[in-house]
Amino acid sequence: MPVPVAPGRWPLLGHTPAMLRRRFGFTSSLYARGDVVRVYLGAMETYFVTSPELTYRVLVTDGNDFRKGAMFEKFRPYVGNGLAVSDGVLHRRQRRLIQPSFHHAAIAGYAEIMARAAAELVRPWRPGEVREVDHDMQALAVAIVGEALFSTGLGKAAIEEARRSIPIILKYGMIRVLSPAFVEKLPIPANRRFDEAIDRMRTIVEELIDNWRAEQPDRNDVLSMLLLARDAETGEGMTDEQVRDEVITLLTAGIETSALALSWLFHEIARHPEVEEKLHNEIDEVLGGRPATAEDVPRLVYTRQVVNEVLRMYPLWILMRRVTKEVDLGGVRLSPGTEVIISPHAMHFDPRFHDHPDRFDPDRWAGERAKDLPRGAYLPFSAGAHQCIGNSFAMTEIAIVVATIAAAWRLVPVPGEPVRVKYTTTAYPSRLPMTAVPRFP
Ligand code: HEM
């Protein structure tokens, strides 16, 4: 079956210029061309999937016929063989090992850290003070992941480095994904910044590992667990490189995503006073003035609707998979080695499945309303073997942080320069200054 080609293809450069220029706008209109559309990243042919059914097949039903694709290869100099990039036996083993740190019982313990960190963030706030909310949320997310997964915290230097380097790596890494291969060999500032940020992150994490090796403490955290793990058959431990790759993966996957969701959440509720009021009423009723705990999360029903809607509107842009054996994808035969692109963002903005997708409407997640959505139409955490390992961690974190902050404070946009969206692997606010106003002066 002939597969349509996306509009805007250039000789040699393929769709790279259109993708770089139009970003999410380019991918969210492709569904009109067909369920599978060809997109060229430079000279590389890829198959972009626009239907939820086929997306779900790639990720879950036929997941064994796919591995991680070219996009993840571009990040390999950074995340090495960490969980987000590894496949097959190694991925299964590592995932099994890391999973207990994300079990229900572990998350209940992290909830206390999350509530404490959010309370510490707002403690010095003064009425009328302008906060850079995106910076605050990033600092908070770093502190939470640092303390929850690396019990003594990451240390000041590692925290600073994570905050500085991860956004740089994601930004330039995404440009590499979209660009022809020769671009990464060019001696341009973008490549230098990417390489330097990687070096700095790796050095910092290697120091964490060296310090641990010097003392060998079992702190019952992820770092100790990774370093103490022994293979059941061979009795061998993990190499320091593998531990470093897993730590870097967890830091990268676990910080920016939650920080951005929190930032956009405060941005959206400030623009929708009726949502903000309902959220405040629920938080006041459920918490009654005491700190939020893990048990409150299921009772914060409307708050979770708001979180679901933020994750719908601000998800990851694209993910890639590579075909491992010949597959039929909606009548299109794909041979091994073919690159497939799926897009949580395109799914979430498809008007065939989400009414008025540009509208921020937490009520679309009320009660049974979302039950008719086809599988694959809402994928904030992806699905299948590589589904986000931190999804309950993130949902708990966002709900607890929002409940803690919004119990006492409103964040009001500062008039002036509007908040614009900057695109990398996902949507970033260009800036997010907001005035802190006490709810009960
Ligand atoms: C709102 C917050 C978050 C969002 C939207 C999110 C989204 C995602 C998505 C879409 C994937 C799947 C990628 C794929 O299928 O190729 C993923 C994987 C992953 N996430 Fe998250 N994530 C979030 C929070 C977190 C947190 C808090 C952690 C850890 C503390 C985390 C750790 C990971 C890891 C390790 C993977 C790789 C899993 C694997 O490949 O087996 N994420 N995340």
Query: Which residue ranges form the domains of the chain, and what is each CATH number?
Result: 82-317+366-438 (1.10.630.10)
Q: What is the pLDDT of residue 153?
A: 62
Instruction: Identify the residue whose C-alpha is closest to ligand 1 atom 43.
Output: 388
CA of residue 303 to ligand 1 center, whole Å: 21
Residue 50 CB less than 6 A away from ligand 1: no
Asked if residue 393 has its Cβ within 6 Å of ligand 1, the reply is yes
Neighbours of 130 (CB within 10 A): 12
Q: Which residue's CA is the nearest one to ligand 1's atom 18?
A: 388
What pLDDT, on the 0 to 100 scale, is given for residue 152?
63
Q: Which residues of 275-293 are buried (b: 16+ CB within 10 A; e: fewer)?
A: bbebbeebbeebbeeebbb
- Phi and psi torsions of 416, nearest 5°: 125, -140
Ligand 1 atom with least separation from CA of 426: 5
pLDDT for 72 equals 86
| Regions of the chain where pLDDT drops below 70 | 152-153
Ligand 1 within 6 A of CB of 114: no
Nearest C-alpha neighbor of 16 from the set 33, 41, 43, 34 = 41
Instruction: Name the residue of 71, 257, 304, 322 whose CB sits within 8 Å of the most ligand 1 atoms, as the mutation to test its pocket.
Output: 257
pTM attached to this predicted model: 0.95
Tell me, in angstroms, the distance from the centre of ligand 1 to residue 30's CA.
25
Q: Phi and psi (nearest 5°) for 160?
A: -60, -40
Looking at 123-239, list the stretches that DSSP marks H as alpha helix, in order from N- to C-terminal side.
Answer: 133-149, 156-178, 189-215, 222-228
